[in-house]
């Protein structure tokens, strides 16, 4: 059974949860250290992140560039809003395909769960249409900025 | 690409509570527009408008039965969405499975060489 849950909430939110065996400090670090991010935030097989800028401070920049080595590439930019080591990150992000998608406002929480961590990522899109478009096309280019499942919706 | 476009419409169609409720009702079986309108404080034309969005998105189909046009879920459309979501979920799973490996290889705070942060 997968440890991941994805669901929509209301008209504009997408919620992702995932449990990790490591404590919150480690999971937080894996989300804010460029050298670590580059090892896992890759999407489907075959994609690599050739640029990883992650300035983990309020106002700090985020820029991820991915390529599949076969001529396909795209990037994501964002800014940090708030960081509370090691429990909470708030940031804004958008994909460039190459036109920028509307801003996705993301709050990520890392809560202690036994000896591990429960991560809860709450995304807020500007409107239902944007969320719809994100769910339908967001990951097509191999990216992970979008997430979703219709659990309980139908 | 046309597949992605219809998915686009399908997910956008779901961005409305009334339409989700209509789908939930249709999941229990075929229903007339009047039956579908009943639980909502909405006119039949308003419900028909929502049904049109769902039909255009490929999630609902209508059948002709005399003067009636009962609606039911379009299995193919729903299944396409399910498959798509399963794919998204898999891509996400792959990321987080990799993260599990990264975490397993990291020094934990209580490890011998107590590295800071």
Pairing of strands A73-84, A88-96: antiparallel
Q: pLDDT tens across A16-54, in order?
A: 899 999 999 999 999 999 999 998 988 767 788 999 999
CB–CB of B101 and A131 under 8 A? no
CB–CB of A127 and B20 under 8 A? no
Q: Outline where A57-103 has alpha helix (H).
A: none
Contacts of A11 in chain B (CB under 8 A): 15-17
pLDDT score of A87: 97
Residue B78 lies in a domain: yes
Q: What is the ipTM of this complex?
A: 0.77
pLDDT score of B85: 67
Interface of B with A (CB under 8 A): 4, 7-17, 20, 23-24, 27, 78, 81-82, 84-85, 87-89, 91-96, 98-104, 106, 108-109, 117
Confidence band of B109 (pLDDT split at 50, 70, 90)? low
pLDDT above 90: residue B9: no
Residue B40 lies in a domain: yes
Left if phi > 0, otherwise alpha if psi is -120 to 50, otherwise beta: which for A114?
A: left
Residue B36 lies in a domain: yes
Q: pLDDT tens across B64-88, in order?
A: 988 888 999 888 777 777 666 666 6
Q: How far apart are CA A110 and CA A120, in angstroms?
A: 7
List of residues 6+ apart from A51 with CB closer than 8 A: A63, A64, A65, A75
pLDDT above 80: residue B29: yes
Cα distances (Å, whole numbers) of residue A134 to A65, A138, B65? 18, 4, 38
CB–CB of B100 and A8 under 8 A? no
Residue B116 lies in a domain: no
Q: How far apart are CA A109 and CA A82, in angstroms?
A: 12
pLDDT score of B60: 93
Q: Phi first, then psi: what are they for B87, rounded to 5°?
A: -70, -45
pLDDT score of A113: 94
Q: What is the CATH number of the domain that holds B37?
A: 1.10.10.10
pLDDT score of B111: 45
**CATH homologous superfamily of domain A5-137?**
START domain (3.30.530.20)
Q: How far apart are CA A63 and CA A54, in angstroms?
A: 7
- The model's pTM is 0.67
Q: How many structural domains is chain B composed of?
A: 1
Confidence band of A153 (pLDDT split at 50, 70, 90)? very low
pLDDT above 80: residue A60: yes
**HSE of A128, CA atoms in CB hemisphere, 13 A:** 15
Q: Which domain covers residue B9, as residue numbers?
A: 2-105
pLDDT score of B24: 78
Residue B111 lies in a domain: no
pLDDT score of A102: 86
Residue B113 lies in a domain: no
Confidence band of B5 (pLDDT split at 50, 70, 90)? very low
pLDDT score of B84: 64
Q: How far apart are CA B87 and CA A142, in angstroms?
A: 11
pLDDT score of A110: 97
Contacts of B79 in chain A (CB under 8 A): none
Of B20, B95, B108, the CB nearest to A144: B95
pLDDT score of B88: 67
Residue of A nearest to B90 (CA): A44
Residue B114 lies in a domain: no
Cα distances (Å, whole numbers) of residue B43 to B23, B26, B35, B55? 18, 18, 12, 18
């Amino acid at each position: 059974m997968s440890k991941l849950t994805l669901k929509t909430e209301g008209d504009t939110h997408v919620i992702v949860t995932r449990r990790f065996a490591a404590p919150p400090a480690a999971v937080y670090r894996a989300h804010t250290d460029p050298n670590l991010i580059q090892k896992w935030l890759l999407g489907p097989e075959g994609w690599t992140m050739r640029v990883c800028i992650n300035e983990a401070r309020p106002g700090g920049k985020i820029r991820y560039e991915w390529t599949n080595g076969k001529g396909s590439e795209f990037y994501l930019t964002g800014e940090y809003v708030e960081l509370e080591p090691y429990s909470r990150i708030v940031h804004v992000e958008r994909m460039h395909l190459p036109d920028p998608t509307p801003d996705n406002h993301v709050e990520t929480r890392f809560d202690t769960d036994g000896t591990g961590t429960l991560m809860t990522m709450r995304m807020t899109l500007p409107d239902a249409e944007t969320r719809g478009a994100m769910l339908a096309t967001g990951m097509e280019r191999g990216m992970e900025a979008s997430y979703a499942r219709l659990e309980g919706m139908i | 690409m046309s597949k992605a476009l219809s998915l686009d419409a399908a997910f956008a169609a779901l961005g409305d509570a009334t339409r989700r409720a209509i789908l939930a009702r249709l999941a229990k079986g075929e229903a007339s527009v009047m039956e579908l309108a009943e639980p909502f404080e909405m006119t039949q034309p308003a419900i028909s408008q929502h049904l049109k969005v769902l039909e255009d998105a490929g999630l609902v189909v209508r059948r002709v039965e005399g003067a009636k046009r009962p609606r039911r879920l379009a299995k193919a459309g729903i299944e396409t969405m399910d498959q798509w979501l399963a794919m998204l979920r898999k891509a996400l799973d792959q990321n987080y499975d990799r993260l599990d490996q990264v975490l397993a290889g990291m020094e934990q705070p209580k490890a011998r060489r107590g590295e800071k942060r």
